[in-house]
Amino acid sequence: MTKRKSIYICQKCGYKTPKWAGKCPECGSWGSLVEEIEAKNVRIGWIKPSTTSPLSLEEIGEEKAERILSGISEFDRVLGGGIVKGSVSLLSGEPGIGKSTFLLQLANRFSDCGKVLYVTAEESPEQVALRAKRLEVKSSNIYVLAENNLEEISKQIEKVKPIFVVFDSIQTLFLPYIESAAGSVSQVRESAAFITYLSKSEKITSFIVGHVTKEGTIAGPKVLEHIVDAVFQFEGDKGYNFRVFKSLKNRFGSTGELAVFEMTEKGLREILNPSEFFLSERPIGKPGSVIFAGIEGSRPLLLEVQALVTRAVFSTPQRRAKGIDANRLSIIVAVIEKELGYPLRNFDIFVNVVGGVKISEPAVDLPIAAAIISSYLERPVKENFVLFGEIGLTGEVRRVKLEELREKEAKKNGFEVASNISTISQIPDFLC
């Protein structure tokens, strides 16, 4: 007999409590505790009793991870040199960003090496087939299964024996022995663990689709990220055609790696020189536009940072930031006011990183400051200069990591680095 009791689980962090509360005591989010039935002593059939004994480090031979190349070179690079056989990856992103499209394209690539199973728990097989037609994917090696029950799916996997499986999406799959609804923390976590076990035991390479919440985090608990081998995310503004593919976690490669894709009529196409692509529509000779030489993972990337400084409409000036941290913007504005004496408190300031790329490294401080000053003074930044540098609270410009790599990327694209800026009061020297 299984004993069942009701328990409240935070849908954000997975915190459990027997009593409901408005605020999660663990992560502090409001209204996230949801009642779920916790089944005790459930027989989790896929956990085999351990028969192995520990080995000393010396006894353990070197196992080289076997990788399969997809042929999409930017994707293979982000993964750390192709996809590792038997690995489980999570691909997250907002609805409509292109996850299903990309995975169908990937399935097409892998269908050359063996059978591929596309589990669609969200869309009908007809919808998948329609997308495949649009992408010109027509391999007899790709099988589509419309099913939500993971136990049924595992039976089909045993029958079909695929080498690559796509699970679209984790929020719509369920395990029948878990009583809570599909998409709940318990279901998401257990389903991911089930898929991981299945992949490791059957030596299947899997990709799981995961939706993100409004706040941009992967729906479901953090533990989901711990279960899988790698977590990738598609980012981008739906208003633009390009999508940034990022690695957030990778047991077989480095994190923070980035690739850029363009959404075309026939699916996603990789962009081999993202710097050139991002700068292609840049306004030349306009105040408020600055080129930033950034680093994403190990890749240098030139991006345009724009600022608009206009007279404030209301007594409290607006500060809006897209692609950068809003707190960072406030600090930079305060430093400019103090060091250069501009009355920015009377101005609204909007900053945007063109292309929907989110930048977290402090090297973007200097380009932000330069874009703001350029817009405020209505003087464009001198042609062909890129900037990078962290700004301290006293207005000093600090060195950042991998400066040579940034310089190389700038040169490759016909730009020069605006070096010798040691304090922000020197920024006006770089304006026309």
Q: Which residues bind ligand TYD (CB under 6 A)?
A: 93, 95-101, 131, 134-135, 263, 265-267
Q: Where are the beta strands (DSSP E) in 11-160?
A: 16-17, 33-39, 67-68, 83-84, 88-93, 116-120, 142-145
In whole angstroms, the minimum distance from the beta carbon of 108 to ligand TYD comes to 12
* Terminal Cα-to-Cα distance of the chain (whole angstroms): 79
In whole angstroms, the minimum distance from the beta carbon of 128 to ligand TYD comes to 10
Please report which residue ranges of 228-351 form alpha helices under DSSP H.
Answer: 274-279, 326-340
CA–CA gap between residue 54 and residue 144 (Å, rounded): 41
Triad 223, 231, 141: Cα angle to 5°: 115
- DSSP per-residue codes, 187-230: HHHHHHHHHHHHHHHHT-EEEEEEEB-TTSSBSS-THHHHHSSE
Nearer to ligand TYD, 97 or 295 (CB): 97
Gyration radius of the chain over CA positions: 25
Residues 365/416, Cβ–Cβ less than 8 Å: no
| Total residues in contact with Mg ion, by rule CB under 5 A | 1
In whole angstroms, the minimum distance from the beta carbon of 69 to ligand TYD comes to 23
135, two tokens: 């992408």
In whole angstroms, the minimum distance from the beta carbon of 262 to ligand TYD comes to 10
Residues 69-128 that bind Mg ion (CB under 5 A): 100
Residues 6+ apart with CB under 8 A from 223: 14, 189
Residues 405/361, Cβ–Cβ less than 8 Å: no
Q: Residue written as tokens 């059939």?
A: 45
Does position 206 interact with Mg ion (CB under 5 A)? The reply is: no
Nearer to Mg ion, 100 or 306 (CB): 100
In whole angstroms, the minimum distance from the beta carbon of 93 to ligand TYD comes to 5
CA–CA gap between residue 28 and residue 26 (Å, rounded): 6
Nearer to ligand TYD, 135 or 244 (CB): 135
Distances (CA, A) of 346 to 210, 229, 317, 326, 369: 44, 50, 6, 18, 17
Q: Residue 115's binding partner, choosing from Mg ion, ligand TYD, none, with beta-carbon cut-off 5 to 8 A by kind?
A: none
Nearer to ligand TYD, 99 or 109 (CB): 99
198, with CB counted inside 10 A (0-12, 13-18, 19+), is: buried
In whole angstroms, the minimum distance from the beta carbon of 353 to Mg ion comes to 26
Nearer to ligand TYD, 97 or 227 (CB): 97
Nearer to Mg ion, 15 or 118 (CB): 118
Closest residue to Mg ion, judged by C-beta, is 100
Pairing of β 242-250 and β 258-264: antiparallel
- H-helix or E-strand spanning residue 269: strand 267-270
In whole angstroms, the minimum distance from the beta carbon of 266 to ligand TYD comes to 5
Nearer to ligand TYD, 29 or 127 (CB): 127
In whole angstroms, the minimum distance from the beta carbon of 125 to ligand TYD comes to 15
Q: Residue 131's binding partner, choosing from ligand TYD, Mg ion, none, with beta-carbon cut-off 5 to 8 A by kind?
A: ligand TYD
In whole angstroms, the minimum distance from the beta carbon of 297 to ligand TYD comes to 22
CA–CA gap between residue 398 and residue 362 (Å, rounded): 10
Nearer to ligand TYD, 20 or 240 (CB): 240
Kindly write out the interface string for residues 164-183 of this chain, putting x where it contacts Mg ion by CB under 5 A and - elsewhere: --------------------
Residue 425 per-residue DSSP state: G
Nearer to Mg ion, 87 or 100 (CB): 100
Q: Residue 380's binding partner, choosing from Mg ion, ligand TYD, none, with beta-carbon cut-off 5 to 8 A by kind?
A: none
Name the site residues for Mg ion (rule: CB under 5 A): 100
